[in-house]
Amino acid sequence: MNDRSANPLDKRVVHLRNITKIYRTDALDVPVLHAIDLTVERNEYAAIMGPSGSGKSTLMNILGVLDSPTHGEYFFEGWNIAHRDDFSLSRIRNDRIGFVFQNFSLLPRMTACENVQVPLIYAGVPVRERRRRAEAMLARVGLADRYRHRPGELSGGQKQRVALARALINGPSMILADEPTGNLDSQTSCEIMKLFDSLHADGQTIILVTHEDEIAAHARRTIVLRDGRIIDDRLR
Amino acid sequence: MDLRQSVRIGLIELRSNKLGSFLTMLGVIFGVAAVIASVAIGAGAREQAMEQIAQLGITNIRVRPLVLEGQERVSADQQNPDGLSLVDVKAIAANCPFAHRIAPIREITATPRVAGRTINGTLLAVTPDYRFIVNFHPVRGRFIADLDMNAAEKVCVLGAEVAEDVFGDAVWETISGQWIQIGMDIFRVIGVMEDKRSVSTRASTISVRNINRDIYIPFSVAEKRLRGVNGESALTELIIDIRQRRDVRQAADLIGTILDRTHGGVRDFELVVPLDLLRQAQATQRRFNMVLAAIAAISLLVGGIGIMNIMLASVTQRTREIGIRRALGATRRDIQTQFLLEAVILSLVGGIIGIFAGVILGAIIAHYAGWNTVFSFKAIILSVLVAATVGVAAGLFPARRAAGLHPIEALRYE
């Protein structure tokens, strides 16, 4: 899985077929996703929308291989990965997917530069190259003067920039952003979204999960979920 | 993920909670310190005992007269008024085939003087064999020889400390031929003994004199010419050298039987067998070691439980961090390694502090109690290994729990 491109003719980064997720509890089974079919191609900029409980978080977890579907097949860059083992899935998360979370999810005891390096650590990159790449990436998201700051010393917008730098550091096939502006004021939200837009302009595949129309408006495609089914999927 | 990075992450974690980490380490610190200190004290005591026993001679059997009381004394006076005597020497020489050499010793209760000045020394009448039996030899001049014995020459050999007291740092040429007055007689100095470091005696059963304060004269002189001095013919001690070490026990029994017969069944003597003392010392040491191991095991167990406790708390506290790391590509194994390593670092650092604490503790005890301590490299290495093992054992369960967390559950944890 570590050769960068699986099939250069296949433009599909993500291809879900008949994906179903059922949460099993002691008493009953709770279906969350019903037979989802979804394809996201390279350099797409998509927003997944839906009210809470619609299953968009579960879909996001499955897309990010943090969770595995109960049924169905998930082709990631042409490879069926629906039922791979933990090690392979960890490698895919490390190498191919960049996560951005609503609450930033930085490690509080590490500096900005160290936070950005974490995916590189698990990728086995030597320490000097790690630092060089992390500093370059921080400069790219506009934090050249914040290498040594800890998350507690950064504003919300700065934290999200660090998180974005961390998501980009391994050159992922797609960025998965879960409510990336949920904890930010409107001014900062705007700046962060501009950053996403420019990444898309550079060719990055981006999938946003949001319930705000203004945020979704940045994307070129909107996928709406309700009760575990895709009820709308259109280009703007 | 490389190990160095894991160690670094672990150190950052532990440093961010210095007090907690230190308190957690205390169990291991105490355990290791106790082991190091008591092993050192035990080894010191053993070395001392061995030295004392070796000084008595491992193939020797010593017979000493016992002072009896009451009715026993009355019957002893009737049956065997002489106590331990040359009769016994002859009986042993004739009936005990194991005996190689026999050295009778008689302490003379007279005050040695040089030019009217009293010398602090113990006067002992011995035979030429004495120096072979106790493996104690002159460094200057010579020891008492058969010729001195036969002619009952009035010569003497001085212990190292006596010689120094009397003659200071004078060269041997000026000491040789000097005269020492004992009772009414004058003795010529013919030799000075080697300086034998004697171990201070605490164990009463093994009483060892400071032999550097002895003054030796020929046994025949004490027998023939000094009868008037102490008025008795009894011996102070009888040392029998046994040919083979394996025969010592059997020889001791035989000598006991022989002496019972010559003394008419009166037990007015005691047999001291250094080999037996050695075995006793070893048995005591084994029991001591067992108690020591038990104490160490308990405190290391408690230390291990402490580490496991804080690691479990740490896993709960850092659930979100685990989720984030998993999302960023850490495998289960990476997470497990990280937590395991933290536990091992805790116990290893605790172990190393414990070693220093143990060495200091041992030195303090040695200083104030005046005991010997011997620090062994082996004990230190063993402690480090045990500490690391405790860390792995205590860390495995929390680390497995951390690794087993589902990434999504961990990410959602608040």
DSSP string, A116-150: HHHHHHHHT--HHHHHHHHHHHHHHTT-TT-TT--
pLDDT of residue B208: 60
Model pLDDT for residues B9-32, shown as the tens digit of each residue: 778 777 777 787 888 888 888 888
pLDDT of residue A206: 96
| pLDDT reading at B263 higher than 60 | yes
| Range among B55-69, B291-305, B336-350 with highest mean pLDDT value | B336-350
Chain A: closest CA distance from residue B314 (Å): 14
Residues B361-370, mean pLDDT to the nearest whole number: 83
Residue B230 — pLDDT band, cuts 50, 70, 90?
Answer: very low
Which of A150-159, B42-51, B227-236 has the lowest average pLDDT? B227-236
| Range among A161-165, B46-50, B313-317, B376-380 with highest mean pLDDT value | A161-165
Q: Which of A107, A127, A176, A209 is the mutation pick for testing B, counting most B CBs within 10 A?
A: A107
Q: A20 with A70: CB under 8 angstroms?
A: yes
Average pLDDT, chain B: 84
| pLDDT reading at B371 higher than 90 | no
B329 with A109: Cβ contact below 8 A? no
Q: Which residue of B has its CA nearest to A106?
A: B324
User: Has the ipTM of the complex gone over 0.90?
Assistant: yes
Q: Which of B3, B7, B314, B328 is the mutation pick for testing A, counting most A CBs within 10 A?
A: B328
Whether B324 and chain A come into contact, CB under 8 Å, resolves to yes
Cα A163 to chain centroid, rounded: 11
pLDDT of residue A217: 92
Residues 159-198 of chain B whose Cβ lies under 8 A from any Cβ of chain A: none
Determine the residue type at B9: I
Q: Which residue of A has its CA nearest to B10?
A: A109
- Closest partner CB to A118 (pick from B12, B325, B411): B325
% of chain B beyond a pLDDT of 90? 17
Residues B196-218, mean pLDDT to the nearest whole number: 67
Tally the residues of chain B: 414
| CB proximity list for B141: less than 8 A, separation 6 or greater | B157, B172, B176, B189, B190, B191, B192
What's the helix, strand, coil split of chain A in %, to 5?
Answer: 35, 30, 40
Residues B73-85, mean pLDDT to the nearest whole number: 76
Name residue A207's beta-bridge partners.
A46, A176
Q: Which residues of B touch A119 (CB under 8 A)?
A: 328-329
H/E segment holding residue B344: helix B332-369
B411 with A123: Cβ contact below 8 A? no
Q: Label residue B320 exposed, middle or buried (CB < 10 Å: 0-12, 13-18, 19+).
A: middle
Determine the residue type at A177: A
Name residue B204's beta-bridge partners.
none
Q: A17 with A73: CB under 8 angstroms?
A: yes
pLDDT of residue B19: 83
| pLDDT reading at A2 higher than 60 | no
The bridge status of strand B269-272 relative to strand B185-193 is unpaired
The C-alpha atoms of residue B143 and residue B136 are separated, in whole angstroms, by 10
B329 with A64: Cβ contact below 8 A? no
B176 to each of B162, B356, B404, how far by Cα in Å? 14, 53, 88
pLDDT of residue B2: 65
Model pLDDT for residues B108-132, shown as the tens digit of each residue: 888 888 888 888 888 899 999 998 8
Residue B216 — pLDDT band, cuts 50, 70, 90?
Answer: very high
A121 with B411: Cβ contact below 8 A? no
Model pLDDT for residues A66-120, shown as the tens digit of each residue: 998 999 999 999 888 887 899 999 999 999 999 999 999 999 888 999 999 999 9
Q: Which residues of B touch A118 (CB under 8 A)?
A: 324-325, 328
Whether B1 and chain A come into contact, CB under 8 Å, resolves to yes
Q: Which residue of B has its CA nearest to A65?
A: B327
Whether B400 and chain A come into contact, CB under 8 Å, resolves to no
The C-alpha atoms of residue A42 and residue A24 are separated, in whole angstroms, by 34
Average pLDDT, chain A: 90
Q: Which residues of A touch B13 (CB under 8 A)?
A: 109
Model pLDDT for residues A144-195, shown as the tens digit of each residue: 888 999 999 999 999 999 999 999 999 999 999 999 998 899 999 999 999 9
Chain A: closest CA distance from residue B15 (Å): 11
Residue B229 — pLDDT band, cuts 50, 70, 90?
Answer: very low
Chain B: closest CA distance from residue A236 (Å): 31
Whether B309 and chain A come into contact, CB under 8 Å, resolves to no
Residue B224 — pLDDT band, cuts 50, 70, 90?
Answer: low
Residue B226 — pLDDT band, cuts 50, 70, 90?
Answer: low
- Closest partner CB to B329 (pick from A61, A93, A109): A93
Q: Which residues of B touch A95 (CB under 8 A)?
A: 329
pLDDT of residue B413: 85
Whether B333 and chain A come into contact, CB under 8 Å, resolves to yes
Whether B16 and chain A come into contact, CB under 8 Å, resolves to yes
| pLDDT reading at B352 higher than 80 | yes
Q: Which residues of chain A approach chain B closer than 8 Å at the C-beta?
A: 61, 64, 66-67, 86-87, 90-91, 93-95, 99, 101, 105-107, 109-110, 118-119, 121-124, 127, 166, 170
Q: Which residue of B has its CA nearest to A87?
A: B331
Whether B332 and chain A come into contact, CB under 8 Å, resolves to yes
Q: Which residue of A has its CA nearest to B335?
A: A122
B326 with A93: Cβ contact below 8 A? yes
| Range among A97-111, B112-126, B287-301, B368-382 with highest mean pLDDT value | A97-111
Whether B329 and chain A come into contact, CB under 8 Å, resolves to yes
| CB proximity list for B175: less than 8 A, separation 6 or greater | B140, B163, B167, B189, B192
pLDDT of residue B407: 92
A121 with B12: Cβ contact below 8 A? no
| pLDDT reading at A125 higher than 60 | yes
pLDDT of residue B386: 85
The C-alpha atoms of residue B267 and residue B276 are separated, in whole angstroms, by 20
- Closest partner CB to A124 (pick from B2, B320, B323): B2
Whether B328 and chain A come into contact, CB under 8 Å, resolves to yes
Q: Which residue has the higher pLDDT, B205 or B400?
A: B400
Q: Number of CB pairs < 8 Å for A and B?
A: 67
Q: Which of A122, A131, A159, A173 is the mutation pick for testing B, counting most B CBs within 10 A?
A: A122
- Closest partner CB to A122 (pick from B321, B330, B407): B330
A105 with B324: Cβ contact below 8 A? yes
Residue B197 is classified by DSSP as P
pLDDT of residue A6: 53
Residues B278-296, mean pLDDT to the nearest whole number: 82
